[in-house]
Amino acid sequence: MGSPLLQRGAGGIYQRSPSRKPRRNPPPPPFAKGGRSSGFTLIELIVVMMVVGILSGIIAMFIQHPLQAYMAASRRAALVDAADTALLRIARDIQRALPNSLRITQNGGITYLEYLPLQDGGRYRAEQTGAGTGDILDFTSGSDAGFDVLGPAVSAAAGQYLVIYNLGLDAATDAWQGGNRRNVTSTGTVSNLAFTATGAPLPLESPGKRFYLVGAPVTYACNPAGGELRRISGYALQATQPTSFGGAASRLLANHVATCAFAYDPGASQRLGQLTLRIQVSQDGETVTLYREVAVNNDA
């Protein structure tokens, strides 16, 4: 036999066979005995945690003030919205008030704004037709208890009051005191309005022949000590402005109220009064003050 390194080729000539490379053992697995671990050591983990903590502190310093500013702006926006909604509700109600019926008083640090809400109105018949017909409103008779409504019919309801030419000057011309006020007895949609006669005639005719139907009074009570602005309704009409309302409905309009000021100028010479409303609300160190002027139609 020939040598394992020699092979017989063509022509009987021996040639060296190619050498074989020695086999190598595969590397041990990472976690085999004698191999190197690829995880974190405890020291490396501690270092990473320290670096993350330092970076977190630095980032917190940069975002703290913008975040505080955002929260403060959110609180101010909420306060403005609450106060503005309350003032808007008052303004809307006052513009539907009986002319010359607003009155303001204070008691125990609480400010009270009261008015009589209009529910309907129209023009009354002052003269009969050419044929001598028609139910007129007679200002010379204390027993007259009805009249024809000129124009569209009105909606009457139990508990309403008829008011004629409310000037708010004295007992005869002030709806609160009752000289020009009568209880309505008609109900539903009517073209002839009936009311309760008192034995005394209505004191003054309206230059525009206008009449008004009003409901029970409404009061806005602002109590800074309690931090509340409330709307109170469902109580009896009184000649003297009340400051207690047993059994009345009370609805919260705004809280966190710090101060409030209501002022009213009746504007007798212009027949256009002006109500000024100022309210300050405060929460968590944020304070917002809102001011609103309301034009009041006093053309009776």
The ranges assigned to domains in the chain are 70-114+218-300, 118-215
Q: Buried b vs exposed e over 165-192: b needs ≥16 C-beta within 10 Å?
A: bbbbeeeebbbbebbbbbebbbeeebee
With 0-12 / 13-18 / 19 or more C-beta atoms within 10 angstroms meaning exposed / middle / buried, residue 86 is buried
CA dist 266 and 94 (Å) reads: 13
pLDDT value of residue 1:
47
Amino acid at 59: I
What's residue 51's pLDDT? Answer: 83
Global confidence as pTM:
0.76
**What pLDDT score does 74 carry?**
76
How is 9-42 classified by DSSP, letter by letter? -GGG-EEEPPPPPPP-PPPPPTTSTTPPP-S--H
Sequential pLDDT tens for the chain (300 residues): 445 555 555 555 555 555 555 566 666 555 555 555 566 788 888 888 888 888 777 777 777 677 666 676 777 788 889 899 999 999 999 999 999 999 999 999 999 999 999 999 999 999 999 898 999 999 999 999 999 999 999 999 999 999 999 999 899 999 999 999 999 999 999 999 999 999 999 999 999 999 999 999 999 999 999 999 999 999 999 999 999 998 899 999 999 999 999 999 987 666 889 999 999 999 888 889 999 999 999 988
pLDDT for the residue 89: 95
How much is the pLDDT for 235?
96
Residues linked to residue 155 through DSSP beta bridges, in sequence order: 189
Half-sphere exposure of residue 257, counting CA atoms within 13 Å on the CB side?
A: 27
From CA 156, how far away is CA 162, in angstroms rounded?
Answer: 10
Q: What is the pLDDT of residue 154?
A: 98
Rg from Cα positions in the chain: 45
φ/ψ region of 247 (left if φ > 0, alpha if ψ in -120 to 50, else beta) reads: left
